[in-house]
A = this chain, B = another copy of it.
Amino acid sequence: MPLPIAAASGGDLAAVLLDLFVILLAAKLGDELFKRIGQPAIVGEILAGVIIGPSVLGLVEPDTVFEVFAELGVVFLLFWVGLETRLSDMRAVGSSAALVGGLGVVLPFGGGIALGFALGDGSAEAIFLGVALVATSVGITSAVLIELGVLQSRAARTILGAAVIDDVLAMLLLAVATGLADGGSLDVGSLLVVLAISIAFIAFFAIGGTRLLASRPRLLHAPRFSESPLMPAVILCLGLAAFSAAVGLAAIIGAFLAGMIVAETKEQHPIEEEVAPLYAFFPPFFFAFIGAELDLGALADGGALALLAGLTALAVATKYVGARLGARSLEPRERHVVALGMVPRGEVGIIVAGIGATAGVVTGERFAVIVAMSVATTLIAPPLLRRALRS
């Protein structure tokens, strides 16, 4: 009784069901089309989001429910990646990953600030532009790596490790930038506390969690509510994602850690098979959401387009060069793959733009440009990555 439900809730569940149907159908059609022309499926899903979103057809809005499904999409995406990852693999690429993550943050940050000053920004505005260029959307790259079946490669491990470091640094820079934008003084002590909590959280679950489940795999399938080990694993994923978010990190870091922990029991249970339907269902909302955030109307003038071109070129170049320098201990071809894999800004650039807009340091046109830059880097990298990995 949806008519009634609508009336009862004040919302409109029938309309929500229709939105979810339209988004999923459009994303899968985009996926299908791009697979047929030999391009990465996620690019098709993002473009489907652009088309059904406010920019073109206006069938769906990037509203709260869509956003929640998008968030669960990237959470289950990184959970899946975690399931394919062993802590020992991550350790093996530790130093490269740290360098890739670090240099891949420093160069874009510096480049963004420099561009901001060149454009005549005040320091708060310029710093926010730097922060908007910093963080990599590992969800995008992960999806391409999964599609091409190379998640187990050394380059993929390096990208994942670098993304974790990248996220911690981006969180700190964002905290600094937000503090400055609010006109408040910078509280270095509390920043250090946040940093310590983040590192402790990651280390505790990465090391402690994997050890615990490796020694007691039955913990996962002891409950009777699980005819399968799926539900305890999914609950762990949501719990660590929420906890990670509460600490101030990306929810996806918690999801990734949960996946790594559960992976320790893989010999006992083919958990990937069971998670696959959730992985097929939720992530399309994530990709379509990124596309739906794009505001083509706001880009319809020469100045905005020139800024977009410049900002995108800067975002690609600084991240590529920084990450490639960081990956210098790898083979040349791996360096190229790692550097390309760090390029997509995806949802993270969009989020930073939103925070900047709230803080009043990212104005209307620039907001649309940063969002468009995030989408552009997200569309550019996957085909190049695909070609590099197939060559």
Which A residues fall within an 8 A CB radius of B? 1-5, 7-9, 11, 13-14, 16-18, 20-21, 24-25, 28-29, 31-32, 35-36, 41, 64-65, 67-68, 71-72, 75, 135, 167, 170-171, 174, 178, 223-226, 228, 230-231, 234-235, 238-239, 241-242, 244-246, 248-251, 274-278, 280-281, 348, 350-355, 357-358
Contact = CB atoms under 8 A, between A and B. Distances in A.
Contacts of A244: 2
B245 A20 contact: no
Contact of A354 (B8, B41, B170): B8
Contact of A245 (B17, B71, B174, B280): B17
A223 B28 contact: yes
Contacts of A11: 64, 67
A226 B251 CA distance: 28
Nearest to A30: B225
Nearest to A280: B231
Nearest to A224: B35
Given A14-B245, A20-B238, 10 more contacts: A1-B171, A1-B352, A8-B354, A11-B67, A14-B242, A14-B251, A17-B71, A21-B238, A234-B281, A276-B277
Contact of A13 (B7, B9, B13, B71): B71
Q: How many copies does the complex hold?
A: 2
B13 A68 contact: yes
A103 B281 CA distance: 40
B4 A351 contact: yes
Contact of A246 (B14, B225, B242): B14
Given A14-B245, A238-B17, A241-B17, A5 B71 contact: yes
Contact of A250 (B2, B41, B68, B355): B2
Contact of A277 (B4, B275, B358): B275
25 contacts: A1-B135, A1-B174, A1-B249, A3-B174, A4-B352, A5-B67, A7-B354, A11-B67, A13-B251, A14-B245, A14-B251, A17-B71, A18-B242, A18-B245, A20-B242, A21-B238, A24-B231, A24-B238, A25-B239, A28-B231, A31-B225, A228-B276, A230-B280, A278-B278, A278-B281
Given A64-B65, A223-B32, A351 B71 contact: no
A31 B232 CA distance: 13
A7 B248 CA distance: 12
Contacts of A234: 24, 280-281
Nearest to A167: B1
Contacts of A28: 223, 225-226, 231, 235
A32 to B, nearest CB: 5
A178 B71 CA distance: 38
Closest 9 CB pairs of A and B: A8-B354, A2-B245, A14-B245, A21-B238, A17-B242, A18-B242, A31-B225, A277-B277, A4-B351
Contacts of A277: 230, 274-278
Given A20-B238, A248-B3, A350 B8 contact: yes
Contacts of A35: 224-225
A3 B65 contact: no
Q: Specify which of A1, A167, A239 lies most central, judged by the most chain B CB atoms within 10 Å of its CB.
A: A1
Nearest to A17: B242
Nearest to A36: B224
A75 B17 CA distance: 10
B224 A8 contact: no
Contacts of A238: 17, 20-21, 24
Contact of A251 (B8, B17, B170): B17
Contacts of A167: 1
A235 B17 CA distance: 11
